Amino acid sequence: MAGFVLRRCLVAVLVLLAVSMLSFGLLKLSGDLATAMAGEQAGADYVAFLRKEYGLDRPLPVQYLHWLGRTLTGDLGTSFYYATPVTDLVAERLPITMTLGLSALLFAVTLSVPLGVLAALHPDGWIDRVVLGIALLGQATPTFWLCFLMILLFGINLRWLPISGTASAAHYVMPTVALGYYAAPAFTRIVRAGMIEALASDYVRTARAKGLRPHAVVLQHALRNALVPVVSVAAVQLGFMLGGSVVIETIFALHGVGYLAWQSISQNDYPVVQAIVLTIACFYVVLTLAADLLNAAIDPRIRLS
């Protein structure tokens, strides 16, 4: 177990290093930082001073190490547009995106676990077909169009829900559905496949043979086993959703990290963009690492392979 944990952690660190190099590359590609920091009216002396002050005249690997060192202490630079530390900006917006991501995850799981179980009980039956059909349509609906359809129906025609902002929990309903709906098919498929496999297994046959009631067999024996891979999928999907909420945040004017990223890209404020890419990648790496370790703790076959 210790060997597995060590190896898995090493990979996570290497992935983070690679991601940090890519983020740094993004920042360097965005142009000369000294000129951007100095502003348009600044003289050449001032630009040269800034370049020297921030070490931008040194070789690239040295700059990277310098940048990495500052990043590790939580200093991700200063936003050109807001003129405030990037770390503060991102920390301020993160709760909104996390709330949205977690509620979307909850929505996707509550929607797809029952659907996956129902579909698995009668493979190729009509419920199965309808569920797979919903999954197919879910993956084909462009997120932004789904948002507008919901705005038209629930916001304008029925007037049930507010269509922009974060003032109340009701403001999160449509964004949650829009983000979670897209992740739901992945859960439905994995629960359905896990249930079909579990229902055909020996331990379920034994449970049935000793006369357990059908719902006890399905819920206590089969479902518990089918839910194990859901943990990994949940980690991956949450990571995807934190990065995928850009479109939804801009439509519903949720001022989270995604909205900030979109604004910053449009304003060429790349210190902020770089920090957001790095933050979300870190979340993904940590989440998948945690899921892998959890799975290895549950299932010895994983850590011994």
Partner 1 sequence: MASRRALASLVAIAARVGRRRHASLVLGGAIVLLVAAMALLAPVLAPHSPYEQNLANRLAPPLFLGGTQASHPLGTDMLGRDYLSRLLYGAQIALLVGLGTVLLSSLIGTTIGLLGGYYGGWVDSVAMFLVTVRLSLPLVLVALAVVGLIGSALSVIMGVLAGLLWDRFAVVTRSLVLQLREREFILAARAAGASDLRILLTEILPNLAAPLTVIATLEMANAILLEAALSFLGLGVKPPEASWGLMIAEAKDLVFFQSWLINLPGVLLFSLVVGINLLGDGLRDLLSAKHAD
Q: How far is the CB of 77 from partner 1 (least distance, A)?
A: 15
Size of the site for partner 1 (CB under 8 A): 48
**Nearer residue to partner 1 within complex by CB, 29 or 167:** 29
Interface with partner 1, residue 30, by CB under 8 A:
yes
What sections of the chain are H helices per DSSP? Answer: 2-29, 33-38, 44-53, 60-72, 86-121, 126-140, 143-150, 173-199, 202-209, 214-216, 224-226, 228-244, 246-251, 257-266, 270-298, 300-304
Q: Which candidate, 141, 119, 126, places its Cα nearest to that of 188?
A: 119
Tell me which of 190, 195, 280, 296 binds partner 1, using CB under 8 A: 280
Tell me which of 1, 13, 18, 170 binds partner 1, using CB under 8 A: 18
Alpha-carbon span 246 to 254, nearest angstrom: 10
Binding mask 156-175 for partner 1 (x = CB under 8 A): x-------------------
**Nearer residue to partner 1 within complex by CB, 173 or 218:** 173
Q: Are 172 and 178 in contact (CB under 8 A)?
A: no
Q: Which candidate, 256, 267, 286, places its Cα nearest to that of 89?
A: 256
User: 85 forms bridges with which residues in the sheet?
Assistant: 78
**Nearer residue to partner 1 within complex by CB, 143 or 295:** 143
Q: Residue 286: CA atoms inside 13 Å, Cβ hemisphere, count?
A: 6
**Region of 19-27, 79-87, 91-99, 224-232 interacting with partner 1 (CB under 8 A):** 19-27
Q: How far is the CB of 143 from partner 1 (least distance, A)?
A: 7
- Classify residue 202 as left (phi > 0), alpha (psi -120 to 50) or beta: alpha
Q: How far is the CB of 209 from partner 1 (least distance, A)?
A: 31
Residues 6+ apart with CB under 8 A from 181: 107, 108, 111, 138, 141, 146
**Region of 79-87, 117-125, 224-232, 262-270 interacting with partner 1 (CB under 8 A):** 262-270
Interface with partner 1, residue 11, by CB under 8 A:
yes
List residues near partner 1 by CB under 8 A.
11, 14-15, 18-19, 22, 26, 29-30, 136-137, 139-145, 148-149, 151-152, 156, 236, 239-240, 242-244, 246-247, 250-251, 258, 261-262, 265-266, 268, 270, 273, 276-277, 280-281, 284-285, 288
